[in-house]
Every structure is written in C-alpha cells, then in structure tokens.
Structure 1
Amino acid sequence: MNISSPAPTQSSKKSTFKVIITNLTFWVLIAIIAGVLLGHFTPNMGVKMKIIGDTFVDIIKLFIGPIIFLTIVLGISGMGNLKKVGRIGIKALTYFEVVSTIALAIGIAVAYLFQPGKIDKTGLALQDASKYTKNPSGDFSWLQFFLSNFTLQVLLAAIVVGIALNFYKHREPTILVLERFSKAVFFGLKYVMYLAPLGAFGGMAYTIGKFGLETLIPLGKLMLCVYLTMILFVFLILGTILRYYKISILSILKYIKEELLLVLGTSSSEAALPSIMIKLEQMGCSKSVVGLVIPTGYSFNLDGTSIYLSMSVIFLAQLYDVHLSFFEILSVIGILMITSKGAAGVTGSGFIVLASTLTAIHKIPVEGLAFLLGVDKFMSEARAITNLIGNTVATIIISKTERDFTTLNLEPVPEDN
C-alpha cells in the first residue's frame, strides 16, 4: 500500500504561510483592522495616530517631482519613436488617448452619479480642506496659479524637455541616463511602499477615532463603484468597439483567461506581458503590431488606472465636501491624461499620480491619501485586469485597421438579423 508522507503537506503549508506573511496586501489588511479597532475603542489614541499617516504621505510627496518629470520626459521621447514607425504609431497614440480619456470621463461621471464619498457629516476635517482654496475673493490669476503650483511647473518643464529631447543630437545616450535615474527613483519608491501598512494604520486609526465607524461606508462604496465601473467599461465601451469589427468581448476574455488569472494573482498586468504577446500573434495579429502596441500600451493605454484615479479624486473631494467647478473637473482630466502615463506599472506610482493631481488643483487635502490607502490594495487587481484587457483590445483593433489580421481564431459576433 502506497501511503504518501505527510512531509509534503507540511512543507506546502509552510510555503503557503510564507507567501501570506510576505504579501504586502496581507499586512495592509492587518494594519487596517488594527487602525479601526484602535480608533473605535480608544478614539483619543486613534486621533494621535494622524502623524503616522501624514508622515507616510509626506514621504510619498517627495517622489512627485522626480517621478513626474522623468516619466513625462521619457514618455514624450517614446512618442517620438512611435512617430518614426509611421502610420501604426500614430493610430496607436490616437486610440490610446481617445479611449483613456473616455475611461477618465466615465470614472468621474460614475463618481458623481453614485457619490461614494458622500457622508452624513459635512465632510472630513472641512476646516483643513478650506486652506487649500486659493483666492477666496473670486479673483483668478493664471500666472499666480502657475507660480504657486510646483506640480504644474514640473509638468511644463518635463513637456518642454521631452519635446526638445526629440531634436537633440545625443538623444539616445541622454535617454539611457534618464532611464537609469528613473529606475533608481522607482526602486526607492518600491521600498517606501513597504511602509504602506503604517500609513494605512495611521490614516484609518485617525479617521475612525475622529469621525466614527460610519466613515468605512464611503470606502466600501468606492470599492463597489470602481469594480462596477470597470466591468461597465470593459463590456460596454471595449465590447462596443470590438463588436464594430464583429468580435465578441466574451470570446476575447475566454481566449486570454490564463493571463487574466495570472494578473489576478499578481495584481500586475506586466506579469502577463510576454504570454499575451504570444497569444495575440497566435490569434492573428501581426508581429510588428503586437511588438509596438502592447509595450507602448503599458505606458499610454491604462484604462483601469485612469478609471480608478479619476474616481479617487472625485471621491476625496466628496469626502472633504469640496466643490469642484466644471473648469476644475476639466483640469483633473487634463492633468491625469498627462501624469498617468508611464508610471502606473510600478507599485506606489498610483499614489504619486493622485498626489500630483491633488497638489496641482490645490483644493483637496493630499492627506486624504492616507485614508484611501486602506482600500487601494484591494482595487489593484481590478485596475490591472482592466489594463490588460484594454491593451489586448487595442492591439486587435490596430491590427484590424491595418488589415494585418492573418487569421481569426475567435468566434465572430453574429450579424443582426
């Protein structure tokens, strides 16, 4: 009788336990629970934890300038490369910008429709939010707005340098140097994000201690809205685009189900990059289109990230009871269209983009990020999956418009009778 030894089972249990305790999301969850308990049972102590959450946000803010500058400069220089490849590059960039803008607009629209950040109180620390509003007399000066806004200054400098770099004789060596700097900065950010449990603990303990357990309701509503919005975007927007070319979105999702599961497990769309490129080529997309659109899409076509970022800005505005004018909403979309490019594939970069956007509009307290940190990790899977699906659809569409689809190994959408 062949009886298996219990050793592998024990080893398997140890391996599973090791994976759990080394997972950052696990520690963020523990920190959230600890923060909620501390804030609920000892409110005075919970309020004192504000300094921990604020310190984490202050550290994150240190990365805003260098990351925004480096990613925008490298992104614009990448656009120069796209133009060199001609028609396909222009088509890809146009598609990316149109669909990403739609994603941003949908995120804002759903946030205003369902108002996940609205609570019974007049807003969290409204007195703190008021100090972010400039020119209370109503006078507006573009020059003053720009001179008092570090983020916009960095954005303008990055755009100018990025454009100039495309005409620089020693462009390639300069880009290599900037890429090394970028990797070093993101490497530092990666380790700073290990402090995320402390930031989540401090932000949650303070919020619950000062405002009570009912403040957990907006976070739950935000998570629900983000997931529902991304499902809506995939099936309604991307599904409609595919249907125009007689392709079913369900067939695509079934075809890439292994990659979707991989992204779900790793919370990163980059984990599936090699295999999704192979599958798209097997599907019938030309190698040249796949090789251009997929890698570029990971910087320029981040639909899930766009939805999450736009909803988060509006969520924080509602949470602090801050009214955003139509001009300010357009500013949010414009700033996110620029700052969201290139950084979203790195852990913690979403917070850099959010922080830079909040500091640019200078009206919503950046400290709100500590509160949002509590649920950010639990929405990363939805962002990554939506990004992957968005880039898959983009590659198919560009291939179809280029008539580079050699075969079609999917069920086409039946013609309407």
Structure 2
Amino acid sequence: MTHSKETAVRFSIGKAIRPLYVQVLIGVALGIAFGAVQPALGTDMKALGDAFIKLVKMLVAPIVFATVVTGIAKMGDIKAVGRVGLKALIYFEVVTTGALAIGLAVAHLMNPGKGMNVDPATLNLSSVAGYAKVAQEQSIKDFFMRIIPESFVGAFVHGDILPVVFIAVLFGLALAHAGQRAATLVNIVDEFLHTMFGVVTFVMKFAPVGAFGAIAFTVGKYGVSSLLALGQLMMSFYITCIVFVLVVLGIVLKLCGVNVFRFIAYLKTEILITLGTSSAEPALPRLLEKLERMGCEKSVVGLVVPTGYAFNLDGVCIYLTMAVIFIAQATNTHLTLGQEIVILAMGLVTSKGMSGVPGGGFVALAATLSAVHVLPLSAIALLVGIDRFMGEARAVTSIIGNAVAAVVVAKWEKAFDAQKMHDALFHQAKVESELADGDSTASGLAAAPDIRTPPVQS
C-alpha cells in the first residue's frame, strides 16, 4: 500500500512538472536563488544561457525561411503578399507610435528620476562607450543595406532575421509564379519545415537549463542592490508594459474576438522562455507554430512575425521614451513639448534601426540621445545596472505585441480560423502536449492547401 502511494505521488509530480512552462518556471526560480546566494558562481552560469540561445538561433533562420517560402508559395497570389506586408507595416507604425506616447505619458506621471539631481559631468561614459560607439555608427541607410545580404548563404550566416525574410520572400514569389511546376520543391521545403519543428522539440528540452543559467548570471552579476537603487524606474516600466499589454493590446485582441488573458496563457511557455533568457529569439520557432495552431494562416504568420521582430518592438519603444524622460528628470534638464515630439519621432526610427544589434534596446537609447543633442549621452550610464532587468520586460512585451500583430493582420486579411482559435485557447494543455511530443501535423503543416496556379503574366 505504501509502495503504491509512493508510486502515485511520483506519477503526480511527474505529470505536474511535465509541461515545458512549468520546467522553465522552476529553472527561473532556481536561477534567481542561485544567483542571489552564490553571485560568483551565478555569473559563471552565463554559458548555459548563451548555449541555449545559440542552439535556438541556429534554427531560427531555416525555420523562418521555410515558413515564409511555403506560406507565399501556397498562397499563390503575388499581390496578396504585398497587401499583407503593407497592412503589417501600417499596424506596426500605429502601435509603436502609441507605445512611444504611452512611455512619455507614464514617465511624466510617475516622475521616476525626480529628485536624483545627477551631475552628468560626474558620470563615467567608459561603462557605456561600446553602446555609444555602435549607436553612432548605425544609420537608417545602414539598416536598409543590412536587409540585403552579401550572398544567398550570407543571409543565414550572421543570424539577422530580416535578410532571411528578404531572401525567402523573393524565393516564395518565384515558386508562386511557377505554379504547379514548383509543387515538388514546395513540398520538399514543407517537409523540411516539418522536420525543423521536430528539431525544435528536442532543443526545447534544454530551455529550463538555459533559463536557469541566464537568470543566475543576471542576478549574480547585477544583484538585487541595482534594482533597489533605481526601483521606481523599474516599477514604472514594468507597470507600463503590463498596462500596455492588458489594456492596449487587450482592446486590439477583443476587436479580433480574442480574450487577452487566454491569449497570454496560451503563450505562457514562450513568455517564460523570453523572460528567462532576456531574448525574444529563442521563443520564435514555437511562436510561429502556435499561431498557426491558433488559426492564423501560415503565409500571414511567416511574414508578419519575423518582420515584426525588427519593426514592431513595442517594449523597446516604451523603454526609449521612459528612459529619456527619466534621464531628463534625473539631470534636471527641462524638455519642451517640441523636443519631446522630436524624441518620439526619433524613437520611431531608432527602435527599428537597431534590429539585429546586440543590446539593441540600450543602443537605440544611445542613438536617440545622440540624434536629438538635448540630453548628455553620458547619462545612459545611470541605466547600465538595471538594463538587463529592463531587457526582460522589453522582450516579453515585444513578443506578445508581435503575436497580436499576426492575429490582427490575419483577421484583417480574412485568413483566420475562429474555430481553430477556440480549440487552441480552450484546450491549451493538449497543444502543449502535442508540441512536447513533436506532433507538428496538428498545426496544418502537412495539410496545407495545394498551390494555386497563378494567372499567366502578359
């Protein structure tokens, strides 16, 4: 009897910790504790987080390529590709402008830097010299030139998403134009994508270890003291991100017939992976597959989400304007309404121009200050100690924002299956179980529609 009870308890525990999001949550909790108790060893755990991120990043480019190519090829309508892209860009601009404006408003409301009375001359720029140098070297021209790779293979070498999307769109358009002649090649790419999602299933087994290493490093290196020193700014930023997701994105989702709380719960694993690693890229492969399972057409998901990783960084936009106002308040620098409007406009540019740049959010801040010449660049040194913690909220907000963007554009394009959405949101455990078992067929990868023969070009 005792033996059977022990077996039942073990079975219950095993069942409880089987979902990946539970394992990641355990990894994050252990990482926080380890980093706090053993800061030196916690810092050394960075390799675990870096290794996991590298494992996933090596899969991102081929998965994005195959998703975009098969999505466009099976869409069969070349004009529809441009229409989806245009709608996505319009949505990105509207929402990121709103995020920048909300960051400005909340910073003025909560005054996180008031009373600090910092003298910029006493700040040491050496701690942020690298970020400042990168920011000054970047330009809009450089950003657009980076989209075009040096070679076809080069798009996959450097790990930037936009060059891969650029190549994939061209390749997908060529296959769509070829019609039935390219059917065999499209099926090969589709099967390749199916296999890559199977590889993701294996790699995701290491997500709890990666989250443990990344969060242990963050806590061990920067410590709780850095949070306390700039606690008001941290609190203001996190509250703003939460309000933006629940209210702004919540209203957008409601208009699409989706409940924001169920939507967030549906993406809980991807959110926890992003939170643990302070990076949105490790969650991208699963995010693409989950949005398909939720009823968004592959062609829309493949175009909107990877592009959104560069053009729709809601978390970065909120951070930019809040950080600028914080620095102005901390250094007792008065900003006119005109100057704040200029900062908001520059934020629209710099938040996108830093795509693919390491420490992109912090570099975007440095680029904004360099461009407006109103606030001392050295003042960004105030934020070094908490940037890693801010990066987690930036990444989580941005990944949720891009998931919402895919739903909006899919709904806008009438490429959204409401029944699949209902089934996915109300049977989340089943979806997680299928993903954990590597069952990609349920997402429709193997049951995509046949290629339509495009009209003959005159």
- In which range does the TM-score fall when normalised by the shorter chain? 0.5 to 0.7
Q: Which residue of 2 aligns with 1:287?
A: 298
Q: Would you say the 8 A contact 1:289–1:399 is kept in 2?
A: yes
SS of the residue 1:336 aligns to: helix
Q: Which residue of 2 aligns with 1:89?
A: 85
Scaled by the length of structure 2, the TM-score of the pair is 0.56
Q: Would you say the 8 A contact 1:302–1:387 is kept in 2?
A: yes
Match of 2:384 among 370, 373, 391: 373
Q: CA deviation at 1:379?
A: 2.0
Matched, 1:349 2:372: no
Q: CA deviation at 1:344?
A: 5.2
Structure 1: stretches of 5+ with no match in the other structure: 4-14, 32-80, 130-149, 184-195, 205-212
Q: 1:411 to 1:283 in 2, by over 3 A?
A: closer
Structure 2: stretches of 5+ with no match in the other structure: 7-26, 44-71, 73-77, 124-133, 161-217, 426-458
Q: Which residue of 2 aligns with 1:401?
A: 412
SS of the residue 2:409 aligns to: helix
Q: Would you say the 8 A contact 2:135–2:366 is kept in 1?
A: no
1:31-90 CA-to-partner distances (Å, cap 9, x unmatched) read: 9xxxxxxxxxxxxxxxxxxxxxxxxxxxxxxxxxxxxxxxxxxxxxxxxx9999310000
Q: Which residue of 1 aligns with 2:177?
A: none
Q: Would you say the 8 A contact 2:104–2:322 is kept in 1?
A: yes
Question: Counterparts in 2 of 1:76-155, with a 5 A limit?
Answer: 85-119=81-115, 123-125=117-119, 155=139
- Counterpart amino acid of residue 92 in structure 2: F
Q: Would you say the 8 A contact 1:305–1:344 is kept in 2?
A: no
Q: CA deviation at 1:242?
A: 1.1
Question: Counterparts in 2 of 1:35-114, with a 5 A limit?
Answer: 85-114=81-110
Q: Would you say the 8 A contact 1:21–1:27 is kept in 2?
A: no
- Counterpart amino acid of residue 320 in structure 1: T
SS of the residue 2:419 aligns to: coil
Q: Would you say the 8 A contact 1:268–1:345 is kept in 2?
A: no
Match of 2:249 among 238, 241, 245: 238
Match of 2:273 among 262, 266, 278: 262
Counterpart CA distance in 1 for 2:40 and 2:389 is: 10
Q: Would you say the 8 A contact 2:295–2:421 is kept in 1?
A: no
1:254-294 CA-to-partner distances (Å, cap 9, x unmatched) read: 21112112222222111111111111111110010011111
Q: Would you say the 8 A contact 1:95–1:394 is kept in 2?
A: yes
Q: Which residue of 1 aligns with 2:202?
A: none
**C-alpha root-mean-square deviation of aligned residues, in Å?**
4.4
SS of the residue 1:309 aligns to: helix
Counterpart CA distance in 2 for 1:174 and 1:351 is: 30
SS of the residue 2:333 aligns to: coil
Matched, 1:276 2:287: yes
Q: 1:29 to 1:324 in 2, by over 3 A?
A: farther
Counterpart CA distance in 2 for 1:231 and 1:325 is: 28
Question: Counterparts in 2 of 1:191-340, with a 5 A limit?
Answer: 219-340=230-351
Counterpart CA distance in 1 for 2:157 and 2:35 is: 27
SS of the residue 1:322 aligns to: coil
Q: 1:326 to 1:117 in 2, by over 3 A?
A: same
1:156-213 CA-to-partner distances (Å, cap 9, x unmatched) read: 6547x75xx99xxxx6647976987897xxxxxxxxxxxx99x979xx9xxxxxxxx9
Counterpart CA distance in 2 for 1:258 and 1:181 is: 27
Counterpart CA distance in 1 for 2:97 and 2:120 is: 30
Counterpart CA distance in 1 for 2:111 and 2:394 is: 20
Counterpart CA distance in 2 for 1:181 and 1:409 is: 36
Q: 1:218 to 1:322 in 2, by over 3 A?
A: farther
Q: CA deviation at 1:246?
A: 2.1
Counterpart CA distance in 1 for 2:141 and 2:399 is: 31
1:113-136 CA-to-partner distances (Å, cap 9, x unmatched) read: 1110111x5x2116679xxxxxxx
Q: 1:177 to 1:258 in 2, by over 3 A?
A: closer
- Counterpart amino acid of residue 280 in structure 1: L
Scaled by the length of structure 1, the TM-score of the pair is 0.61
1:76-117 CA-to-partner distances (Å, cap 9, x unmatched) read: xxxxx9999310000000001110110011011100111101
Question: Counterparts in 2 of 1:17-36, with a 5 A limit?
Answer: none
Q: CA deviation at 1:355?
A: 1.2
